[in-house]
Amino acid sequence: MDFSLSAEQTQITEMVAEFVDEEVVPVADEIDAADEFPAELIEELADLDLMGMPFPEEYGGAGLDYHTYPAVLEELSRGSGGLGTIVAAHISLAGNMIYAFGTDEQKEEYLTPLAQGDDIGAFALSEAGAGSDVPAMETTAEKVGDEYVIDGGKLWISNGSVADTVTVFAKTDPEAGNEGISSFVLRPADDDGFVVEGTEDKLGDKGCPTAELRFDNVTIPESRRLGEEGRGFVHALKTLNGGRITIAARSVGIAQAALDAAVEYSGDREQFDRPISEFQTIQHKLADMDTKTQAARLLMHDAADRKIRGESFAKEAAQAKLYASEVSREVANEGIQIHGGYGYTKDFPAERFYRDAKLNEIYEGTSEVLRNTIAGELLD
Ligand SMILES: Cc1cc2nc3c(=O)[nH]c(=O)nc-3n(C[C@H](O)[C@H](O)[C@H](O)COP(=O)(O)OP(=O)(O)OC[C@H]3O[C@@H](n4cnc5c(N)ncnc54)[C@H](O)[C@@H]3O)c2cc1C
C-alpha cells in the first residue's frame, strides 16, 4: 500500500495535534490521578466537531473519512489514553451501531445528539460470564406485546455510568445461540430499571468510567430495537471490526507519546558526562520504538483503506489491533527503561503510558482471540 495522508487530512490532524498539546497534555496527569470523566474536555471536543467524526453532516457528524478519524483518535490518545477510549467507545461502538443498523428515525433521534456531542454513548456487550465468549450472555429481552422487557446486566462498559444512549445486546431467543441475540437502544435517564451498579478501579485508562450495569425489567418500545431480531451477534462483530481500527489508533497514539517522552528524556539525562542519547544502546531502543510505531500506524491505515473501499477488512483490522496493541505495550515498556528509576515513578508520564497501553491487548478482542480470528481467515 502506498499511503500518506492528503493535505486536508494532514491539516485536520495537525489542528487536533495542536489542541492536544495545548489542552490535553497539560491535564493528562490530573485526569489520571482523579479518574473522573473529563466533561469539560469532551465539550471542547464537541465544539471542534470531533464527537461524531465519521458520521455524515445530516446526522450532526463531521463527515471525516476513515483515515482522518483514526489519525485524529491517535492524536487524542497521545494526549490521554482515557480520552482515547471515551471517544472510541462513543463513536466507533455506540455511534456506529446506530449509524450502521438504525432506521432513519433512530439515527435522527439517537445518532444526531451523539454526533453533536450533546449525548454520550456506550456499547454494552460484555457480561461477567461472557467476555470473549459473547453467545454465553445471559441478558434477555422478552417480547411482550409491542414492547421488550430487558433483564440482566453488563460488565466493563466504557462510558457506561455517564452515557445517555447505550446500545445493549440481549437474547430474544435464548435457545438459538448466536442467532438468538438482538440489539437495542437504552436511554438510562428514561428507562426505569436501568441501574449503574458502580465503576471499576483500574490499572489505567483513567477518566473513562468502566461501569457495571444492571437491567431490572427495563421495558422499552419495539422501536428501540436495532435491525431485525436475531442479528445482534452480527451487529456486534461488524461493529467491533471497525472498532479495532480505532483501538489500533489508541495504541499508536500511546506508543508515540512514550517515544516522544523517551527521546526528550534521553537528550536531557546525563550519565558518564554525556546525554544518555549518545549511547548506542539507547539510540537502538529509540530506533526500534519508532520503527514499530510506524509499522503499526501503517497497518492501521491499511485496514482503514480496505474499509473505505468497501472490501472485507476483518483480518486486517484484527492484525492492526493485535500488532499495534503489542507495540504500544513494548514501546511504553522501553520508555520506562530509558527513564531508568525515574520512569518507575509518577514524576514522569512513562508509567502512565505503560498502564494505558496494557488495556489495548484486552478489550475489543484479546490478543489471543484476535490470533484465532486471523488464523481462521487464513485457513478459511
Ligand atoms: C477497561 C475495559 C473497558 C472495556 N470496555 C468495554 C465496553 O465498552 N463494552 C463491552 O462490551 N466490553 C468492554 N470491555 C470488555 C472486554 O471486551 C473484555 O474484557 C474482553 O473481551 C475479554 O473478556 P473477559 O475479560 O471476560 O476475558 P476472558 O474471555 O475470560 O479471557 C480470559 C483469558 O482467556 C483467553 N481466552 C478466552 N477465550 C479464548 C479462546 N477461545 N482462545 C484462546 N484464548 C482465549 C483470553 O484471551 C484471556 O487471555 C472492556 C474491558 C475493559 C478491561
Give, as one character, the DSSP assignment of residue 302: H
Same domain, 213 and 253: no
Assess whether the C-beta atom of 163 lies below 6 angstroms from ligand 1.
no
Assess whether the C-beta atom of 124 lies below 6 angstroms from ligand 1.
yes
Q: Which of 215, 230, 245 is the last residue of a domain?
A: 230
Same domain, 241 and 225: no
**Helical packing angle, 81-88 and 350-359, nearest 10°:** 30
Q: Whose CA is nearest to atom 38 of ligand 1?
A: 132
- In order, the DSSP letters of 49-67 are T-SSTTS-GGGT-----TT
In a domain, 310, yes or no: yes
Residues 42 and 48: their CA atoms lie apart, in Å, by: 10
Average pLDDT of the residues in 39-66 = 98
Q: Residue 1 pLDDT more than 80? A: no
Give, as one character, the DSSP assignment of residue 127: B
Q: Whose CA is nearest to atom 25 of ligand 1?
A: 131
Atom of ligand 1 nearest to the CA of 372: 42
Which triple of cell numbers denotes residue 134?
459473547
Q: How many CA atoms lie within 13 A of 46 on its CB side?
A: 18
Question: What does the pLDDT read at residue 346?
Answer: 97
Ligand 1 mutation target, pool 329, 362, 374, most atoms within 8 A of CB: 362
Ligand 1 centroid to 131 CA: how many Å? 4
Which triple of cell numbers denotes residue 129?
460470564
In a domain, 266, yes or no: yes
Same domain, 206 and 249: no
Residues 304 and 119: their CA atoms lie apart, in Å, by: 26
In a domain, 294, yes or no: yes
Which triple of cell numbers denotes residue 170?
440481549
Q: Which of 120, 149, 176 is the last residue of a domain?
A: 120
Specify the CATH number for the domain of residue 101.
Answer: 1.10.540.10
Q: Whose CA is nearest to atom 44 of ligand 1?
A: 368
At 378, the amino acid letter reads: L
Q: Whose CA is nearest to atom 40 of ligand 1?
A: 369
In a domain, 1, yes or no: no
pTM exceeding 0.95: yes
Same domain, 252 and 280: yes
Same domain, 261 and 209: no
Residue 2: pLDDT band (50, 70, 90) is low
For 333-375, how does the pLDDT look when each residue is reduced to its tens digit (9 = 90+)?
999 999 999 999 999 999 999 999 999 999 999 999 999 999 9
Q: Residue 3 pLDDT more than 80? A: no
Specify the CATH number for the domain of residue 223.
Answer: 2.40.110.10
For 20-48, how does the pLDDT look when each residue is reduced to its tens digit (9 = 90+)?
999 999 999 999 999 999 999 999 999 99
Same domain, 245 and 364: yes
**Is 334 an annotated catalytic residue?**
no
Give, as one character, the DSSP assignment of residue 130: B
Assess whether the C-beta atom of 40 lies below 6 angstroms from ligand 1.
no
Residue 322 burial (C-beta neighbours within 10 Å; 0-12, 13-18, 19+): buried
Report which secondary-structure segment, H or E, holds 364.
none
Same domain, 321 and 349: yes
Q: Whose CA is nearest to atom 9 of ligand 1?
A: 157
Which triple of cell numbers denotes residue 148?
421488550
Atom of ligand 1 nearest to the CA of 133: 29
Range of the domain at 284: 233-379
- In order, the DSSP letters of 138-201 are --EEEEETTEEEEEEEEEEEETTTT-SEEEEEEESSTTSGGGGEEEEEE-TTT-TTEEEEEE--
Same domain, 237 and 375: yes
Assess whether the C-beta atom of 126 lies below 6 angstroms from ligand 1.
yes
Average pLDDT of the residues in 199-209 = 98
Ligand 1 centroid to 368 CA: how many Å? 10
Please choose, from the candidates 144, 205, 193, 198, the residue with its C-alpha nearest in 3D space to the C-alpha of residue 168. Answer: 193
Query: Quick check: helix, strand or coil at residue 213?
Result: strand
Same domain, 369 and 239: yes
Residues 12 and 53: their CA atoms lie apart, in Å, by: 11
Question: What does the pLDDT read at residue 179?
Answer: 97
Assess whether the C-beta atom of 363 lies below 6 angstroms from ligand 1.
yes
Specify the CATH number for the domain of residue 270.
Answer: 1.20.140.10
In a domain, 208, yes or no: yes
Residues 23 and 27: their CA atoms lie apart, in Å, by: 7
Residues 268 and 279: their CA atoms lie apart, in Å, by: 13
In a domain, 23, yes or no: yes
Which triple of cell numbers denotes residue 230?
436475531
For 274-324, how does the pLDDT look when each residue is reduced to its tens digit (9 = 90+)?
999 999 999 999 999 999 999 999 999 999 999 999 999 999 999 999 999
Ligand 1 centroid to 134 CA: how many Å? 10
Assess whether the C-beta atom of 375 lies below 6 angstroms from ligand 1.
no
Ligand 1 centroid to 156 CA: how many Å? 9
Same domain, 252 and 352: yes
Give, as one character, the DSSP assignment of residue 208: S
Assess whether the C-beta atom of 293 lies below 6 angstroms from ligand 1.
no
Residues 303 and 204: their CA atoms lie apart, in Å, by: 27
In a domain, 2, yes or no: no
In a domain, 269, yes or no: yes
Ligand 1 centroid to 127 CA: how many Å? 9
For 121-151, how does the pLDDT look when each residue is reduced to its tens digit (9 = 90+)?
999 999 999 999 999 999 999 999 999 999 9
Identify whether the C-beta of residue 171 lies closer than 8 Å to the C-beta of residue 221.
no
Question: What does the pLDDT read at residue 31?
Answer: 98
Catalytic residue among 127, 364, 368, 377: 364
Q: How far is CA 266 from the centre of its chain?
A: 31
Ligand 1 centroid to 116 CA: how many Å? 30
Assess whether the C-beta atom of 210 lies below 6 angstroms from ligand 1.
yes
Assess whether the C-beta atom of 89 lies below 6 angstroms from ligand 1.
yes
Give the β-pairing of 121-124 and 165-171: parallel
Q: Which of 179, 201, 230 is the last residue of a domain?
A: 230
Atom of ligand 1 nearest to the CA of 158: 8
Domain count, the chain: 3
Same domain, 138 and 201: yes
Same domain, 253 and 347: yes
Assess whether the C-beta atom of 328 lies below 6 angstroms from ligand 1.
no
